[in-house]
Amino acid sequence: MNSFIKRESFLSEKDAVYNKTIGAGDGWFGYIKEGQVLRITDIKGNQAADSLFYDADAPQDHYSAVRTITKQKNIYLTTDTVLYAESGKELMKITADTCGRHDTLGGACSSQSNTVRYAHSKEYMHNCRDTFMKKISSDKKYLKRDLAPNINFFMNVPVTNDGHLCFADGLSSKGAYIEMTALCDVMFLLSNCPQMNNPCNAYNPTPVKVTVWDKK
């Protein structure tokens, strides 16, 4: 199923309780309260925002790509998608989205994947898994084992007819955003991808923005 469902938001940044620009290669790890709305904005377009969500009351209960795909019967994330945890608990719901489709199959870049996909000389380049580890280590409740298959917001990873993944040109445009409402208290882990080897972003990683609104 390859449907796109775009929906604009009614929220204004001037009413936000948090607003921060995250540079390419940097990350963010923080608490989102139940009912709050989280927006991620692709400031310049074609940037990948690798993301994970956790039940804040049960750190081991992280986002599950398998449960999310199975529940919605769609391999892509779009408006009205609910993001599920391993336990089956509902974590977030996508309530607005001007990109229309997001990946949850391609995973995060790592030193190993850089080596396999590009060249041995790329092994030591910065990657999303390193950013995840750096950010998650700020809270001692979270360990390396708590990293799981993630969401790649704004990234376009079609599945070919023979079942392979294809890292294609991005669908996101300048200023595109996705908004999610927290269905419980969650921890949000973000790596703004530093990937300089993939032509999808013209070899030029760019900033994204994290904005949060309180429950109305």
Q: What is the pLDDT along the chain (216 residues), one digit of tens a residue?
A: 556 889 999 999 999 999 999 999 899 999 999 999 999 999 999 899 999 999 999 989 999 999 999 999 998 999 999 999 999 999 999 999 999 999 898 776 755 555 545 544 554 556 788 899 899 999 989 998 999 999 999 987 667 677 666 666 677 899 999 999 999 999 999 999 877 666 666 668 899 999 999 987
Tokens of 167: 């890292």
Is this model's pTM higher than 0.85 or not? yes
Q: How many residues does the chain have?
A: 216
Tokens of 22: 């995250």
Contact 24, 206 (CB under 8 A): yes
**Distances from the Cα of 24 to the Cα of 21, 30, 56, 97, 168, angstroms:** 10, 18, 26, 21, 20
